Amino acid sequence: MEVEGEVRNVSGAPLDGVQVVASFYDGGNQFITSDSAMVQYQPLLAGQTSPFKVMAISNPAMHTARVEFKKLFGGRLEHRGPAPKPTPTPKGRTKP
The string of pLDDT tens digits covering residues 27-57 is 999 999 999 999 999 999 999 999 999 999 9
List the domains of the chain with CATH numbers.
2-73 (2.60.40)
Q: How confident is the model at residue 75 (pLDDT cuts 50, 70, 90)?
A: confident
User: What is the residue-wise DSSP string for 47-84?
Assistant: T-EEEEEEE----TT--EEEEEEEETTS-EEP--SPPP
Do you know the residue count of the chain? 96
66 class by beta-carbon count within 10 Å (0-12 exposed, 13-18 middle, 19+ buried):
middle
pLDDT for 89 beyond 90: no
SS3 (DSSP) at 16: coil
Nearest Cα to Cα of residue 62 among 28, 36, 38, 18: 28
